Amino acid sequence: MRTRFDSLAKDLWRGTLGEAGRVLAEVAVSAAPQRADTTFEPDRARQAVLAARGLLGRMGLTPCMLEAFHEAPDEEEVRDCHRKYLAWRHTLRDGRDEATLWLVAAGDPVGVRGAFQLRRLRGWPEGVFGAASGFGLRLVVISRLPVARDSLALRLFGRGAVLGQAAKEVLALPEEAWERRLIPILLQWRTQVPELPAARTLDEEDFVSNAQQILDEWERKATNKGRAEGLAPLVRQFERRLARSLTEGEQEVLRVRLVALGPERLGDVVFDLAPPELDAWLSDPCAR
């Protein structure tokens, strides 16, 4: 069963691949009510951007459909994804022969790997599997990926200790590291998790257990730094531009982005964007 965790996956796809091509979510792929999680068509002129995005960027070097599972998918779910992939592939004008279906699973679907004869993909790291080339089907098992920066963005889709380790790694990176733009996405998704444990899904409870303490510490530092670097003047500039008061949630977004993007970037945003665009920038977890 798909959950609210899917929205985090879609935002992370966009945060990683969005500068290098067209990322579409909830794509209708046939007359029947089928929707693909996310499709990506790379911009051929921006291959260097993808090359710098680690393993996830490498996956996007050719047109692809991306389907994320926080549990191990079963055989019927894989068949359903493959049907959607074939319908979507038929609509492509460019890159049809290279198009790939990538299943990204936090859990290891051992039975699926056997049923679809998925084998370790030559030339790719541990945890990446592929079927015969004509099927266009590939699988990434997050829990089996090596702990390396190359796999970091993908390991943020993980569960348990895998997610906790990835969160620590991304927070420890230098401020200029591209992966740090994923932190606001994680923080914004966290605000959607119900406060009462009884109201949380298993995915949400896992996220709280393994990433929230780390993100809380980062947010505390961000708040202190925001105070030191003058968050209040930025809030005032945004409110004057929008001709309204910022909500508590929007002020939280500014605190996080002040640290992630720097005061110069926020100054450019508030002066360069028209009010409707500025509203959209505040609500978009992938905005830069």
Alpha helices, DSSP H, located in 68-192: 75-91, 110-115, 152-155, 160-172, 182-190
Whether pLDDT at 228 is above 60: no
Sorting pLDDT into bands at 50, 70 and 90, what band is 118?
very high
pLDDT given at position 171:
84
Is the distance from CB of 70 to CB of 5 less than 8 angstroms?
A: yes
Verify that 176 and 275 share a domain, yes or no: yes
3-state secondary structure of 235: helix
In a domain, 32, yes or no: yes
Region 179-187 average pLDDT: 81
Residue 150: partners with Cβ closer than 8 Å, 6 or more residues away: 54, 55, 125
Verify that 98 and 205 share a domain, yes or no: no
How many domains, the chain? Answer: 2
For the chain, give percent helix, strand, coil, nearest 5.
60, 15, 30
In a domain, 288, yes or no: no
pLDDT given at position 53:
93
In a domain, 56, yes or no: yes
Verify that 118 and 208 share a domain, yes or no: no
In a domain, 91, yes or no: yes
Which one of 155, 178, 202 terminates a domain? 155
Query: d(Cα 264, Cα 279) in Å, to the nearest integer?
Result: 19
Verify that 54 and 138 share a domain, yes or no: yes
Verify that 170 and 248 share a domain, yes or no: yes
Sorting pLDDT into bands at 50, 70 and 90, what band is 251?
confident
Q: What is the CATH number of the domain that holds 87?
A: 3.40.1350
In a domain, 24, yes or no: yes
The domain in which residue 211 lies consists of 160-283
CA dist 25 → 8, 12, 47, 152, 193 (Å):
12, 11, 21, 22, 21
Tally the residues of the chain.
Answer: 288
pLDDT given at position 33:
46
Verify that 179 and 139 share a domain, yes or no: no
Residue 229: partners with Cβ closer than 8 Å, 6 or more residues away: 258, 263
* Reported pTM: 0.73
Task: Report the chain's mean pLDDT, rounded to a whole number.
Answer: 85
Which one of 93, 123, 155 terminates a domain? 155
Instruction: Out of 113-122, 132-141, 236-245, pick the least confident.
Output: 236-245
Verify that 38 and 84 share a domain, yes or no: yes
Which one of 128, 155, 182 terminates a domain? 155
Verify that 165 and 260 share a domain, yes or no: yes
Region 129-158 average pLDDT: 95
Verify that 53 and 106 share a domain, yes or no: yes
Query: d(Cα 11, Cα 17) in Å, to the nearest integer?
Result: 10
In a domain, 174, yes or no: yes
Verify that 196 and 122 share a domain, yes or no: no
pLDDT given at position 121:
95
In a domain, 199, yes or no: yes
pLDDT in tens, 50-72: 999 999 999 999 999 999 998 89
Percentage of the residues of the chain whose pLDDT score is greater than 70: 88
Percentage of the residues of the chain whose pLDDT score is greater than 90: 40
Region 96-103 average pLDDT: 94
pLDDT in tens, 184-206: 777 777 666 666 677 777 777 77
Whether pLDDT at 159 is above 70: yes
Whether pLDDT at 217 is above 80: no
Sorting pLDDT into bands at 50, 70 and 90, what band is 93?
confident
Verify that 151 and 168 share a domain, yes or no: no
Verify that 124 and 170 share a domain, yes or no: no
